[in-house]
Amino acid sequence: MTVRALVTGASSGLGEQFARLLAAEGYQIHLVGRDSARLAAVGQVCGELSGEPAVMSRVDLDEEESLYGFCRRVAADPPDFLVNCAGIARAPLFWEDSDKAQRELLTVNYFAPNCLIRAVLPALMAKGEGDILNVASVDGLVPGDPDMGYAASKAALVSLTRSLSIQLAGTGVRVSATCPGFVPTRIHETAGLGKVTLPWFLWRSADTVAADALRRHRRGQVVNVPSASYRAIYRAYRLVPARWSAAVVRAFHSGSIEQPTGVPADGRGGTPVRP
């Protein structure tokens, strides 16, 4: 019997790596994104890895009709494994950003996963098995990132995942939120952020993060941090008094990103930003 995985944000970065890994396990992959050319290229690889042709859907998760229409189609024919990976970040100062942009941030990073989870859950619960993996961020666990709307959207996703894991206990449906630190993908440049200047040990490649997140999901780690450096930071953050941890988080963020470069005219990124 064919098992199927739906991966949003599959046209690049972490989503592409989740799609490749699940394809190599034999899942037929349903790739979701907006960039048709990138989707086709990833779909080709996934088809070869899986032996089953990939399905591709060009969906703008920020567009109401597009999102709702897609969720209706997913509910009618749900996958066995849902990976909510699509996400965006914002470069402008939080208090100078537009309502439209902050709303888009919340829609793509939190509301779209929320909708897709509700689209697949009834079928997975009826079947008594299934997987939902949400890609959050360490920013959703440790507050203080200057991209505050992003951090809040990821914290909401973590909170939803925690509640789901409690409510779904005993149903056979596994749910997790993975909370990576910095990964060299297009997201920083697409957001218009400047060069991220962090030491090498605070970066981890997209393929290793995705593999680690999948392993931790299957081990039942509901909220996990797929990087030793960021696990140490998160532990320290929880152990030290709030007054000190706030100072450390402020220092960490103050030097990590150079001045924003401004959002590219087409709103899309090009080459990955690397340390």
Ligand X SMILES: NC(=O)c1ccc[n+]([C@@H]2O[C@H](COP(=O)([O-])OP(=O)(O)OC[C@H]3O[C@@H](n4cnc5c(N)ncnc54)[C@H](OP(=O)(O)O)[C@@H]3O)[C@@H](O)[C@H]2O)c1
Q: Which residues bind ligand X (CB under 6 A)?
A: 9, 11-15, 33-35, 38, 59-62, 85-88, 108, 135, 137, 180, 182-183, 185-187, 190
Query: Is 150 annotated as catalytic?
Result: yes
The nearest distance, CB 77 to ligand X, in angstroms, is: 19
Write out the E strands in 228-275: none
Q: Which two tokens stand for residue 86?
A: 């699509």
Q: Compare residues 187 and 214 and give the one whose CB is closer to ligand X.
A: 187
Under 8 Å between Cβ of 206 and 183: yes
The nearest distance, CB 184 to ligand X, in angstroms, is: 7
Q: Compare residues 120 and 136 and give the one whose CB is closer to ligand X.
A: 136
Q: Compare residues 100 and 128 and give the one whose CB is closer to ligand X.
A: 100
The nearest distance, CB 149 to ligand X, in angstroms, is: 12
DSSP 213-238: HHHHHHTT-SEE--SHHHHHHHHHHH
Q: Which two tokens stand for residue 170?
A: 């005993």
Q: How far is CA 130 from CA 18, 78, 158, 164, in A?
A: 16, 10, 19, 13
Number of helices (H), then strands (E), in the chain: 10, 7
Map residue 182 onto helix, strand or coil.
Answer: strand
The nearest distance, CB 274 to ligand X, in angstroms, is: 11
Q: Going by C-beta distance under 8 Å and a sequence separation of 6 or more, which residues neighbour residue 216?
A: 176, 178, 224, 226
Q: Which residue among 150, 230, 234, 237 is the active-site one?
A: 150
Q: Which two tokens stand for residue 153?
A: 């959207």
Q: Compare residues 14 and 54 and give the one whose CB is closer to ligand X.
A: 14
Active site residues: 150
